[in-house]
Amino acid sequence: MNSRMARVLLACLIVGSIAICTQSVYAQDKDSDFQTGKIVEVKKLSSTGGPATTGGTDAPSTSEVDRYDLSIQVNDTVYVCRTRIQPESSFAWTQGKEVHVKVSGKTMYVKRSTGKITKLSILSSKKAS
């Protein structure tokens, strides 16, 4: 009976180890899709939202949102992307900062320092000068 329990325990350890290794390899592969980019320009656009300017509604006012165009250089291409953030959020994207990005069609995914991935719309791209 003791020998049987030891074999079951050993099998569980082997299966658990395989699961952890597989998960680790998958996470590394997922991260390998990201590459280093550099923010070369930050342009603030007009804010949207805010209190309703037309009267006669009981609807709650929308919160204000700041819009930015970010130019991010990845290798020899500069992508102009648009993002919208709440004014009170910590906007830590500054010109010259390196960021981890993944480009997929007309979308750029930016991995923030917190690990959160932010999705940006690519407006245009051009060769870096």
For residue 104, pLDDT beyond 90: yes
Highest mean pLDDT: which range of 10-14, 87-91, 114-118: 114-118
d(CA 76, CA 99): 15
Q: Are 68 and 89 in contact (CB under 8 A)?
A: no
- pLDDT digits over 54-68, tens only? 444 555 555 677 888
pTM attached to this predicted model: 0.63
Structure tokens at 18: 């395989």
109: left (phi over 0), alpha (psi -120 to 50) or beta: beta
- Residues of the chain above pLDDT 70, percent: 62
